[in-house]
């Protein structure tokens, strides 16, 4: 165990965690909602420091991040547990288990060496929620930056503002799930009462810390496949993050307790993409439909194809010095 960074000792012997917005008050000998933080002798400790359940060298498009060094390779790491427990989670085998699940230990030095050996541009904490792995990701991100590597969180955005501010100087990109735009949607999908704090933290990541932000909404039939909800998300992105912020609307794949639901139809995804454009977004992508034109990048000035993708691979890159090769206008992208 390693002592947690953010917690408060309460008068009754409990400790209040300050890592995620649940802010669990944990009794002596017990763990918080995520199952990975324990009150041991009046101190809150993380039970998963350095415990890696999954790792791979994978393309940045798999996060997905489409405007942040497209075609680059990243060391991607996951641990155990989550602070949401989404009913249709595709990584439930690591996120819906406790800290005693199968994992191996990697020090921050180990993963930096692994990233360098794999010719990775950076390190991504993904697969399950990186916020609950905070102390480890913070130490690793600091070292990664020292060694010239970029960093990325693939997150549900439920981190507290104070925790975000602690790791903010060491995070380059923040790929956030916005699962809906209604309290009811978040109650059903993420088991949380409100999503306002997620929106605030996501905007903070960009405005205060200058992180590269892209948004994903996995469209689940009967849960968040509502045009009003899409309009809310798209309008918020334009207002708070800017019209050039990519929004990925992705196909739901039936899993776990939502295995009885159908796949999201292509027509629904296309309608969501259209909604994003109508609300003023310049880049709206369709995910999990390989070969669909909606996974490509088109210049928002002239409409010409500038990046052609084939699934998670960049098949053709036409951008020249950050500009469209046809109209010469800048494309909001880091390459």
pLDDT for residue 321 = 93
Over residues 297-316, the pLDDT tens digits come to 999 999 999 999 998 999 99
**CATH 3.20.20.70 location in the chain:** 51-304
Mean pLDDT of 73-89: 96
**Lowest-pLDDT range, 70-74, 153-157, 269-273, 311-315?**
311-315
Q: Which pLDDT band, with edges at 50, 70 and 90, does 102 fall under?
A: confident
Q: How far apart are CA 5 and CA 230, in angstroms?
A: 36
The SS3 of residue 229 is helix
Residue 123 has pLDDT above 80, yes or no: yes
Q: How far apart are CA 56 and CA 32, in angstroms?
A: 29
Report the run of H or E that residue 152 belongs to, with start and end.
strand 150-155
pLDDT for residue 97 = 87
Mean pLDDT of 27-54: 96
Number of neighbours of residue 71 by Cβ within 10 angstroms: 15
Residue 106 C-beta-side C-alpha neighbours within 13 Å: 21
> Would residue 305 be called left, alpha or beta, if left means φ above 0 and alpha means ψ between -120 and 50 degrees?
beta
In the CATH hierarchy, which top-level class contains the domain 51-304?
alpha beta
Residue 98 has pLDDT above 80, yes or no: no
The SS3 of residue 20 is strand
Residue 99 has pLDDT above 90, yes or no: no
Percent of the chain past pLDDT 90, that is, above it, reads 98
Length of the chain: 335
Residue 101 has pLDDT above 80, yes or no: no
Residue 179 has pLDDT above 80, yes or no: yes
Mean pLDDT of 218-237: 97
Q: Which pLDDT band, with edges at 50, 70 and 90, does 1 fall under?
A: confident
Mean pLDDT of 103-114: 97
The SS3 of residue 123 is strand
Lookup: tokens for 265: 């139809």
Buried b (16+ CB within 10 A) or exposed e, 30-48: ebbbbbbbbbbeeebbbbb
Over residues 233-267, the pLDDT tens digits come to 999 999 999 999 999 999 999 999 999 999 999 99
Q: How far apart are CA 226 and CA 181, in angstroms?
A: 10
**Mean residue pLDDT across the chain:** 97
Q: How far apart are CA 243 and CA 15, in angstroms?
A: 41
pLDDT for residue 292 = 97
Mean pLDDT of 115-141: 98
pLDDT for residue 100 = 79
Distances in whole angstroms, Cα of residue 273 to Cα of each of 53, 92, 299, 306: 34, 28, 16, 18
Mean pLDDT of 75-83: 97
Residue 142 has pLDDT above 90, yes or no: yes
């Amino acid at each position: 165990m390693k002592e947690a960074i953010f917690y408060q000792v309460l008068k009754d012997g409990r400790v209040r965690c300050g890592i995620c917005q649940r802010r669990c008050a944990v009794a002596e000998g017990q763990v918080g909602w995520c199952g990975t933080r324990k009150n041991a002798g009046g101190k809150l400790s993380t039970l998963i420091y350095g415990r890696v359940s999954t790792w791979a060298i994978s393309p940045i498009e798999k996060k997905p991040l489409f405007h942040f060094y497209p075609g680059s390779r990243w060391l991607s790491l996951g641990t155990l547990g989550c602070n949401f427990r989404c009913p249709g989670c595709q990584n439930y085998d690591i996120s819906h288990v406790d800290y005693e699940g199968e994992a191996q230990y990697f020090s921050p030095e180990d993963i930096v060496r692994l990233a360098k050996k794999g010719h990775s541009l950076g390190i991504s904490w993904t697969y399950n929620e990186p916020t609950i792995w905070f102390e480890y990701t913070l130490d690793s991100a600091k070292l990664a930056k020292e060694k010239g590597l970029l960093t990325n969180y693939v997150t549900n955005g439920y981190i507290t503002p104070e925790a975000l501010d602690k790791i903010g100087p060491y995070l380059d990109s923040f790929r956030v799930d916005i699962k809906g735009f209604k309290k009811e949607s978040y109650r059903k999908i993420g088991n949380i009462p409100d999503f306002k704090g997620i929106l605030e933290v996501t905007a903070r990541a960009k405005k205060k810390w200058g992180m590269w932000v892209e948004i994903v909404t996995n469209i689940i039939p009967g849960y968040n496949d509502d045009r009003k909800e899409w309009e809310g998300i798209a309008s918020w992105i334009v207002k708070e993050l800017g019209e050039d912020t990519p929004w990925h609307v992705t196909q739901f794949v039936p899993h776990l307790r939502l295995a009885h639901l159908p796949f999201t139809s292509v027509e629904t995804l296309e309608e969501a993409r259209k909604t994003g454009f109508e609300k003023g977004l310049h880049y709206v992508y369709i995910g999990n439909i390989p070969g669909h034109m909606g996974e490509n990048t088109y210049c928002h000035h002239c409409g010409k194809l500038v990046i052609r993708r084939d699934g998670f691979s960049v098949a053709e890159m036409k951008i020249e010095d950050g500009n469209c090769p046809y109209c010469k206008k800048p494309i909001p992208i880091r390459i």
